[in-house]
């Protein structure tokens, strides 16, 4: 709601003509917000259809990581408790590969600001939240593509689901939920930065250590004690451990006493919720602040 | 009851750090009017438009569009305005048609309406053939036309055009001018910012000259030119005509000294800006038997006005070198 944030100078405060019009009901505004979000989701999807190379961050990139770790590093990594490294790897990839679209979200938002199209959106009678909701919804769709690519790559290198379809869907659902929540961090980054290059570089610089200091690729047991604490509490470790448990894949984190490693599904839900609670309102705020 | 003005601004102030972009700007445009906001780079034109289009919050002062306050009733304002910025605000990856449909849907047209209106505008702006191509393949002129089409898709009552022809070649500029004139005849209220004096002269019914974030002069183009002083009259004498007699005849009407040039065959003088002065002069010259091959009266251009008001040359020439898309 936009009221009374700035008091107009009193001397100009005098009765006006017949306008303004009646405010719309809450329900109608919500309907419009959904409609506007869908239009902007369609916009992003139409862009991808015209420029499929923008999907590289959820296709080529995870594929590259799968191959690198399966065949280059994997042979040197031992799993406490034993098991196939290839099977271990895919749980980590579901965490890292899906959330890996977030730096791209930041880049796309900065580019929109630069192109001036955000100004166009702001001058339209559309929902303000729709710009961010449309963007993140489209990103969620690309993350679904990412999940399919990772699953296909996994099946190709010998990863299998040893549980039922319900558990498998729960695992992918958790990874997507976390990926969606993480996207909002990317939105905030995009709203803070001013150049596409900065978004690209900073996105990479922040994202790599965040995902590598976790159990996504390497069991945390071999890390120095202080780093292990960080890694065991890293949300990416929770997603990876949750996926491994639900897929019935080797999960050395089960031997770790840190709370998130003992309850990885619940930890993933909490982390996702926390990301949304922090970054969603922050993103809305940053977006509104762009006006001044 | 008096009609509500389409655009009102009262004492708008906006600063960016140490830069004062608007310093008590007042504007008023009646419904259906065309105001040309004329000023050099950095005069505050773009800031004024961004405040009126609800993109920027003023530090002080008030602005209303069709009676709706741009701060407290921004949603109402957005329902009645269209905005075409200095650089085309389009999605380059999408086709021209997809851009229009998108903006149409966001302007709350139904899907069918948005498609129909997109087709209509593409036809009208000569973009029908290019409608299926990605915008990044468009020329500068085409992008501006598409951008304008996008701002018209929701049938706005008030349209802001921020330097709509900056950076365009003369032909594309002429096309834009035709389109803008059409809109004006259709009754849309227009606020047009420009660095081109000629543009304001041709398109606007009222011109506000702004400098340093305030309006330094306001009026119709003719009223403004009248402020710059007298008309300039040039007389070309026929071969064998008596120059001395001609000077005497012209001096009777002139407000200043008569200058003689072109080997004594051309006389120039300032004359009062009133109708019928050439007729009077021709009669006098004819009566005295002085042969004349040509007589021209030039009103001062808005360039002259600009110079008189701001103490600077008109920005027209500099404008060419200004990079397109640079915010003022």
Q: Are residues B159 and B258 in the same domain?
A: no
Determine the distance in angstroms separating the CA of A205 from the nearest CA of chain B, rounded to an integer. 28
A139 contacts chain B (CB < 8 A): no
pLDDT at A23: 64
First to last CA, chain B: 38
Instruction: Tell me, yes or no, whether A152 lies in a domain.
Output: yes
Q: Are residues B14 and B147 in the same domain?
A: yes
Q: How many domains does chain B have?
A: 2
Mean of the pLDDT values across residues B214-218?
88
Exposure on the CB side of residue B310, measured as CA atoms within 13 A: 25
CA gap A127, A148 in Å, rounded = 32
CB contact under 8 A, A120 and B89: yes
Instruction: Tell me, yes or no, whether B326 lies in a domain.
Output: no
CATH of the domain at B260: 3.30.70
pLDDT at B253 over 80: no
Helix (H) or strand (E) holding A171: helix A165-192
| Mutation site for B-interface testing, chosen from A22, A120, A128, A135 by largest number of B Cβ within 10 Å | A120
Mean of the pLDDT values across residues B182-199?
87
Q: Are residues B196 and B286 in the same domain?
A: no
pLDDT at B97: 96
pLDDT at A20: 47
Helix (H) or strand (E) holding B11: strand B7-16
Q: Are residues B169 and B249 in the same domain?
A: no
Instruction: Tell me, yes or no, whether A167 lies in a domain.
Output: yes
The strands making up B206-211's β-sheet, listed across from edge to edge, are: B81-84, B158-162, B189-194, B34-38, B206-211, B214-219
Q: Are residues B138 and B253 in the same domain?
A: no
A233 contacts chain B (CB < 8 A): no
CB contact under 8 A, B73 and A20: yes
Give B-chain residues touching A9 at CB under 8 angstroms: 11, 60-62
Instruction: Tell me, yes or no, whether B319 lies in a domain.
Output: no
Give A-chain residues touching B4 at CB under 8 angstroms: 16-19
Considering only residues B321 and B239, tell me which one the structure prediction assigns the higher pLDDT.
Answer: B239
ipTM: 0.82
Instruction: Tell me, yes or no, whether B282 lies in a domain.
Output: yes
Which two three-digit tokens encode residue A22? 């009646």
Instruction: Tell me, yes or no, whether B116 lies in a domain.
Output: yes
Q: Are residues B261 and B138 in the same domain?
A: no
pLDDT in tens, chain A (292 residues): 434 344 334 333 333 444 445 567 888 888 989 999 999 999 999 999 888 888 988 999 999 999 999 999 988 898 998 899 999 999 999 999 999 999 999 999 998 888 888 889 989 999 888 999 999 999 999 999 999 999 999 999 999 999 999 999 999 999 999 999 999 999 999 999 989 999 989 988 999 999 999 999 999 999 999 999 999 999 999 999 999 999 999 999 999 999 999 999 999 999 999 999 999 999 999 988 876 4
Q: Which of B68, B71, B150 sits opposite A19 (nearest CB)?
A: B68
Considering only residues B253 and B136, tell me which one the structure prediction assigns the higher pLDDT.
Answer: B136
A184-223 pLDDT per residue, tens: 999 999 999 989 999 989 988 999 999 999 999 999 999 9
Compute CA distances B98 → A90, A105, B281, B295, whole Å.
39, 22, 62, 55
Compute CA distances B11 → A39, B1, B117, whole Å.
38, 25, 38
CB contact under 8 A, A47 and B67: no
CB contact under 8 A, A39 and B134: no
Strands B206-211 and B60-65: unpaired
Question: B226, B253, B276 — which closes off a domain?
Answer: B226
Instruction: Tell me, yes or no, whether A76 lies in a domain.
Output: yes
CATH of the domain at B121: 3.40.50.300
pLDDT at B298: 76
Q: Are residues B167 and B254 in the same domain?
A: no
Helix (H) or strand (E) holding A16: none
Buried residues in B77-105 as b, exposed as e (16+ CB within 10 A): bbbbbbbbbbbbbbbbbbbbbbbbbbbbb
A18 contacts chain B (CB < 8 A): yes
> Quick count: other Cβ atoms within 10 Å of Cβ A215?
30
> Quick count: other Cβ atoms within 10 Å of Cβ B232?
16
Burial status of residue A194 (CB atoms within 10 A of its CB: 0-12, 13-18, 19 or more): exposed
Write the DSSP string, A95-131: HHHHHTTHHHHHHHHHHHHHHTHHHHHHTSSS-SHHH
Instruction: Tell me, yes or no, whether B212 lies in a domain.
Output: yes
Mean of the pLDDT values across residues B105-109?
93
User: Can you give the C-alpha Rg of chain B in angstroms?
Assistant: 24
Instruction: Tell me, yes or no, whether A144 lies in a domain.
Output: yes
> What sign for the dihedral angle of Cα A214, A218, A219, A222?
negative
A11 contacts chain B (CB < 8 A): no
Q: Which of B56, B69, B102 sits opposite A292 (nearest CB)?
A: B56
Rounded to the nearest 5 degrees, what angle is found at the Cα of A267, between the Cα atoms of A262 and A268?
Answer: 125
CB contact under 8 A, B55 and A116: no
Instruction: Tell me, yes or no, whether A127 lies in a domain.
Output: yes
Q: How many domains does chain A have?
A: 1
Q: Are residues B267 and B168 in the same domain?
A: no
Q: Are A100 and A255 a contacting pair, CB within 8 Å?
A: no
Q: Using omega within 30 degrees of 0 as the cis cutoff, is the peptide bond preceding A72 cis?
A: no
Q: Are residues B124 and B245 in the same domain?
A: no
Instruction: Tell me, yes or no, whether A197 lies in a domain.
Output: yes
pTM strictly above 0.90? no
Instruction: Tell me, yes or no, whether A216 lies in a domain.
Output: yes
pLDDT at B229 over 70: no
Rounded to the nearest 5 degrees, what angle is found at the Cα of B190, between the Cα atoms of B189 and B194?
Answer: 170
pLDDT at A95: 94
Q: Residue A40: which domain range? A: 30-289
Q: Are residues B247 and B160 in the same domain?
A: no
CA gap B180, B148 in Å, rounded = 9
B276-326 pLDDT per residue, tens: 777 887 888 778 777 788 887 777 766 667 766 766 654 444 433 333 333
Q: Residue B242: which domain range? A: 230-299
Q: Which of B54, B57, B90 sits opposite A123 (nearest CB)?
A: B54
Which residue in chain B has the smallest CA separation from A9? B61
**At a CB cut-off of 8 Å and minimum separation 6, what does B255 contact?**
B230, B269, B270, B271, B272
Instruction: Tell me, yes or no, whether A56 lies in a domain.
Output: yes
Q: Are residues B19 and B116 in the same domain?
A: yes
Q: Are residues B82 and B168 in the same domain?
A: yes
Q: Which of B72, B98, B103 sits opposite A124 (nearest CB)?
A: B103
Instruction: Tell me, yes or no, whether B217 lies in a domain.
Output: yes
Q: Are A163 and A91 a contacting pair, CB within 8 Å?
A: no
Instruction: Tell me, yes or no, whether B92 lies in a domain.
Output: yes
pLDDT at B302: 66
């Amino acid at each position: 709601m936009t009221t009374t944030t700035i008091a107009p100078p009193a001397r100009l405060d005098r009765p006006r003509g017949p306008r303004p019009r009646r405010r719309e009901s809450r329900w109608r505004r919500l309907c419009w917000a959904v409609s506007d979000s869908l239009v902007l989701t369609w916009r992003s999807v139409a862009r991808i259809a015209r420029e499929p190379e923008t999907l590289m961050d959820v296709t080529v990139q995870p594929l590259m990581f799968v191959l690198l770790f399966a065949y280059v590093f994997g042979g040197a990594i031992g799993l406490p408790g034993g098991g196939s490294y290839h099977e271990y790897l895919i749980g980590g990839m579901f965490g890292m590969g899906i959330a890996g679209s977030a730096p791209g979200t930041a880049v796309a938002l900065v580019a929109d600001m630069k192109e001036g199209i955000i100004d166009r959106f702001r001058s339209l009678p559309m929902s303000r939240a729709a710009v961010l909701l449309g963007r993140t919804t489209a990103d969620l769709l690309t993350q679904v593509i990412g999940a399919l690519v990772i699953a296909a790559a996994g099946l190709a290198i010998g990863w299998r689901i040893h549980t039922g379809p319900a558990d498998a869907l729960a695992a992918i659902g958790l990874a997507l939920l976390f990926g969606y929540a993480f996207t909002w961090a990317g939105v905030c980054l995009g709203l803070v930065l001013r150049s596409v290059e900065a978004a690209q570089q900073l996105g990479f610089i922040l994202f790599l250590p965040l995902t590598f200091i976790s159990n996504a690729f390497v069991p945390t047991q071999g890390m120095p004690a202080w780093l292990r604490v960080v890694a065991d509490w890293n949300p990416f470790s929770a997603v990876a451990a949750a996926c491994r448990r639900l897929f019935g894949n080797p999960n050395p984190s089960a031997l770790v006493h840190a709370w998130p490693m003992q309850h990885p599904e619940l930890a993933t839900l909490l982390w996702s919720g926390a990301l949304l609670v922090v970054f969603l309102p922050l993103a809305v705020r940053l977006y509104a602040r762009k006006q001044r | 009851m008096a009609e509500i003005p389409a655009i009102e601004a009262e004492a708008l102030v906006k600063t960016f750090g140490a830069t004062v972009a608007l310093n008590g700007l007042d504007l008023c445009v009646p419904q259906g009017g065309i105001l040309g906001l004329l000023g050099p780079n950095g005069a505050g034109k773009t800031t004024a438009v961004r405040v009126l289009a609800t993109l920027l919050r003023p530090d002080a002062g008030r602005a209303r569009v069709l009676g709706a306050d741009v701060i407290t009733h921004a949603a109402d304002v957005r329902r009645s305005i269209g905005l075409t910025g200095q650089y085309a605000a389009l999605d380059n990856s999408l086709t021209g048609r997809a851009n229009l449909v998108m903006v149409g849907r966001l302007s709350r047209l139904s899907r069918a309406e948005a498609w129909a209106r997109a087709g209509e505008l593409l036809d009208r702006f000569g973009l029908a053939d290019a409608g299926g191509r990605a915008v990044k393949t468009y020329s500068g002129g085409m992008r501006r036309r598409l951008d304008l089409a996008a701002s018209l898709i929701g049938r706005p009552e008030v349209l802001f055009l921020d330097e709509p022809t900056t950076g365009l070649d003369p032909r594309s500029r002429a096309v834009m001018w035709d389109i803008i004139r059409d809109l004006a005849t259709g009754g849309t209220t227009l606020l047009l910012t420009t660095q081109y004096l000629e543009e304001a002269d041709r398109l606007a019914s009222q011109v506000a000259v702004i400098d340093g974030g305030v309006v330094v002069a306001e009026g119709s183009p003719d009223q403004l030119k009248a402020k710059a002083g007298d008309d300039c009259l040039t007389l070309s004498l026929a071969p064998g005509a008596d120059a001395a007699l001609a000077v005497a005849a012209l001096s009777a009407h002139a407000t200043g000294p008569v200058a003689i040039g072109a080997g004594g065959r051309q006389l120039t003088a300032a004359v009062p800006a009133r109708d019928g002065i050439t007729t009077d002069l021709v009669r006098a010259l004819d009566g005295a038997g002085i042969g004349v091959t040509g007589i021209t009266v030039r009103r001062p251009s808005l360039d002259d006005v600009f110079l008189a008001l701001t103490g600077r040359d008109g920005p027209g020439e500099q404008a060419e070198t200004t990079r397109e898309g640079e915010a003022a």
